[in-house]
Chain A
């Protein structure tokens, strides 16, 4: 049984895609912000921290949420649904389902931030 090791393949993987190219450009230490891009559900903006010429952190300053308008669902007579506190599972898995953490807006903003750090 293969156990996929793709957890965390989101921001980390995207940062890794860009970091090798950026290293050649000699990054200056400090904190750099990328531009803000539209990712349909809202704006995305990335901030990187460079230390010793290497990117040590990449954070999303802005990330899309979802539109909220009035709720049309009738709140009367809602069914009772089972609730539980989420707990980490240790059993093996084949695939992971999660919110997509990667987007082109993120990559564009990250590329900006890297460019800013090498200017």
Chain B
């Protein structure tokens, strides 16, 4: 049973190989819709929007929002300041962390419901569990930052989470909104494998913001591996990334 919906502005796919979990797949989709309703900065009636208009005090926020805020603060510390949910205008946007958190919780929901073999994919951030329908490791392709129809690496997360953070490339140029006339010459994407998708997503976002140093940051984290691609098409990988690469 596989279902894809556009939620939170991106395609979200839940695929359970085991038979008889249709209701669970639908429940997972409802979970993502509930997350969107609570966390969207694009909805005036979301809890985040109401908090940003000072209509709710921090102490009165729901348990879910408090949990995400705590995660955002922890990420800011662990990522040496390269992640901050507080924007320049003093409002809060935890979007950078909500996606990984929502996938992680959605996957836990599937596990708790008895599903063994599945994946959850939200906009290219992935949690796999068990095996694919051929009874082998799930095969995740890393998309080329240069040609969107190409895959540049095939990876088996084997129950770990995987997330990619990157820039959009127009022709041969990477757009830098802070210096529109300059062409960046460094990292265009970094794909991170971590203990679960929430961890992978938190550190992929931070590592990408670090530029060329991001891969060394991931190398320094126990339990994480990464594949980083620069603008000239050269990839750098962490020491044990190769253990996850499939032919």
Say which size band chain A's interface belongs to: 35 or more
Interface mask (A1-43 → B, CB under 8 Å = 1, otherwise 0): 1100011111001000100000000000000000000001111
Residues of A within 8 A of B147 (CB): 88
Residues of B181-223 at the interface with A, using a CB-CB cut-off of 8 Å, are 184, 189, 191, 208-211, 213, 215-217, 219
Residues of B within 8 A of A1 (CB): 132-134
Task: Say yes or no for B141: interface residue by CB 8 A criterion.
Answer: yes
Could you give 28 example pairs across A and B, Cβ below 8 Å?
A: A7-B151, A8-B148, A40-B95, A59-B170, A65-B175, A66-B209, A69-B82, A72-B80, A72-B81, A78-B216, A81-B216, A81-B238, A85-B234, A86-B234, A87-B152, A89-B151, A89-B152, A89-B154, A93-B151, A94-B132, A94-B138, A95-B121, A96-B141, A97-B141, A98-B166, A99-B168, A100-B10, A101-B168
Q: Say whether, besides A7-B149, A10-B148, A93 and B140 are in contact (CB < 8 Å).
A: yes
B6→A17 contact, CB < 8 A: yes
Residues of B153-192 at the interface with A, using a CB-CB cut-off of 8 Å, are 153-155, 162-168, 170, 174-178, 180, 184, 189, 191
Write the chain B residue with the least CB distance to A92. B139
Per the CB 8 Å criterion, the residue count for chain B at the interface is 80
Cα–Cα distance between A78 and B10 once the two chains are bound (Å): 37
**Cross-chain contact of B178 among A65, A83, A85 (Cβ < 8 A):** A65
A99→B164 contact, CB < 8 A: yes
